[in-house]
Amino acid sequence: MNASAIRNKTWAELNVGDAASLERRCSPEDLLLFAHVSGNVNPLTLPAADNRERDSRQIAPSMWVGSLISAVLGNVLPGAGTLYRAQGLRFPRRVHVGDRLKATVVCREKREEPVALFDTRVENEYGHTVCEGTAEVDAPTTSQLTEARDLPALIVDSVDHFAPLIVLAAQLPPLKTAVVCPEDRNSLGGALLSAQHGLIEPILVGDPGRIQAAAKELGADISAHTLAAVSDPHAAAAHAVAMVNEGLAHAVMKGAIHSDALLAQVVKKDRGLRTHVRISHVFAMDVPALDELLFISDAAINIAPDLMTKVDIVQNAVNLAHACGIREPKVGILSAVETINPSIPSTLDAAVLSKMADRGQIHGAVVDGPLAMDNAMDVEAARTKGIASLVAGHANVLIVPNLEAGNILVKELSFVARAEAAGLVLGAKAPVILTSRADNDRARLASCALAQLYEYWRREGRAFGDQGTVAKAAE
């Protein structure tokens, strides 16, 4: 017989005094899953959205505590085939996140087959009773051997990585931002929401009539904000860029204008925002399965970058990670495989980029490649393939081989893995906030927070907050 198999105890085999127990620690994920299953969203029993890991005094729902008794009855004693008739419960003490609990059932009485009565109790690690009562069940009448079963893994978005960044950025003076064509409810609403959170001081550049119409649709008063009347979208983009060059604005934000039209003004050789660095886009992804932000570049601007363009793409992404408080980012240079293959040019680029980082031509990060996606993100996958690396399995910055691969990766994370994305264009004289119509409010706020923190890093040469400061900002 398999040692992991559990045999139930039939009504005929059951004796008064038979007992069984199971132990379980209460976690934030337990509270979230119970809320989803039951529909009970009482704030007293839900972890705080921005501080779930540390909210140890959050109260567990009493019925979740009671459900531990059901686990003992259904799994151990009497076990498989048991069905409830009735359960009485009382709760003399509260349970909090982090408490270790022991649920125990003791057979009190056997009634007419198949009915049995059990005393039930849940205790905390100090021996205090937190739940007690009586269960009446139909015990199984036939023997059954049940193999131990691992339930499918669930991904619970238990940590909000954007919230502490937004809180941290709001501690800085609002960033003067030229918002280009905020002429619909999404683009204007995102700018105004970011202003309300103290992230930006918006300068609305566009057609006054359309901007006012969008404000009316939102029910918003924009009289306190500067409005620059420029009706043509291309001229509005040029005006926003000119404001940065004249020191009247310190960031540019995309509104209801095509990205190409805005970026065409940003990259102009004459009167644009170009520097000696190639501009690139970096996504900051809040992925439910990860414990920290994941930065991905370039999935929006450089279609098929050559080696030297990739050097700037890597450095730009590393700089943004530094601005967000990550002192030594781990950069995985992605390809289809983790070995160098001359038939796959991206593996050659990855190897060269890794060596350039070793020689200091890319600085401030640990860089390794080529890495396939699995061994960049998963320790076991890296170990299975014999990859010894500080980055493999721990990458928090991913550099994709081309725009197609990056675009697919970001959208897969967003629409399949339910990640949320904020983003920023880097390498110009000022950060460019390239929001999308599909972005929700949190993504818009996070993008503005990235711009705020990056501009501080660019100006001061250091991050406004490191990882510890970011964590404290969530409290």
1 — pLDDT class (breaks 50, 70, 90): very low
pLDDT at 43: 86
User: At residue 471, does pLDDT exceed 70?
Assistant: no
Pick the more confident residue, 221 or 153: 221
Which of the listed CATH numbers 3.90.1640.30, 3.40.190.290, 3.40.120.10, 3.10.129.10 matches domain 6-146?
A: 3.10.129.10
pLDDT at 195: 95
474 — pLDDT class (breaks 50, 70, 90): very low
* CA 90 – CA 88 distance, rounded (Å): 7
**String of DSSP letters for 145-189:** EE---PPPP-------SHHHHHHHHTTSPPEEEEEE---SHHHHH
Residues 6+ apart with CB under 8 A from 458: 319, 323, 431
pLDDT tens-digit readout, 243-286: 999 999 999 999 999 999 999 999 998 899 999 999 999 999 99
Mean pLDDT value across residues 374-389: 92
Write down the mean pLDDT value for the chain: 91
In the chain, domain spans? 6-146, 277-427
pLDDT at 442: 82
- The CA-to-CA distance between both ends of the chain, in Å, stands at 51
Mean pLDDT value across residues 108-113: 96
The CATH code of domain 277-427 reads 3.40.718.10
Q: Bridge-partner residues for 115, per DSSP?
A: 138
156 — pLDDT class (breaks 50, 70, 90): low
pLDDT tens-digit readout, 334-343: 999 999 999 9
pLDDT tens-digit readout, 296-316: 999 999 999 999 999 999 999
Map residue 106 onto helix, strand or coil.
strand
473 — pLDDT class (breaks 50, 70, 90): very low
pLDDT at 173: 96
In this structure, are residues 180 and 206 in contact, taking their beta carbons and an 8 Å threshold? yes
Tokens of 172: 């800085």
